A = this chain, B = another copy of it.
Amino acid sequence: MPDLDPDLDLRLERMMDVPPATLWRCWTEPELLMQWFCPRPWHVTEAVIDLRPGGRFFTRMAGPLPDGSQADMPNEGCFLAVDPERRLVFTDALQAGWRPAAQPFMTAIVTFEPRDGGTFYTATALHNDTAARDKHEEMGFSKGWNTAADQMLDIARSL
């Protein structure tokens, strides 16, 4: 996993009792990712995973807003590094083909380390400044990513 700059980064670390290969599938197969990537009752309605550096990583999320209406949130991103069963890096600072995005927010570095028959799993979010980091924390990074990780583990155990 990458070095952590506590002023700029956020990180989730979890031991998971499934092997790296299974978690890799959960991250890289659209029909699996769609089952866990959003904390319920939010859900993913569309996922495009072009698994190579420069490839498109697109998700569309839907869920209830506080005012009772339904949100529809498309998220364009780009894969930066694809190291099978070991590390996945992507960002919303770039779109497919590495084209700059309009409003960059974060890069995510996800690592899968074999340990004790399971996986030491980390997800690090890198931001440009402390304001973006703090905003991400207030948006519920810790709770949201942990809940999603719980959902991923449920799927992984069933595979």
- A129 smallest CB distance to B (angstroms): 7
Is residue A100 within 8 Å, beta carbon to beta carbon, of the partner chain?
yes
- CB-CB contacts below 8 Å: A87-125 with B: 89, 91-95, 97-102, 104-107, 109
A142-B41 Cα distance, complex, nearest whole Å: 51
Q: Contact check, B104 vs A100: say whether CB atoms are below 8 A apart.
A: yes
Name A91's contact: one of B100, B128, B129 (CB within 8 Å): B100
Q: Contact check, B104 vs A98: say whether CB atoms are below 8 A apart.
A: no
In the complex, the chain B residue whose C-beta lies closest to that of A90 is B98
In the complex, the chain B residue whose C-beta lies closest to that of A94 is B93
A128-B103 Cα distance, complex, nearest whole Å: 10
In the complex, the chain B residue whose C-beta lies closest to that of A102 is B128
- CB-CB contacts below 8 Å: A19-45 with B: none
Name A100's contact: one of B2, B93, B102, B109 (CB within 8 Å): B93
A19-B94 Cα distance, complex, nearest whole Å: 32
Name A126's contact: one of B98, B105, B126, B128 (CB within 8 Å): B98
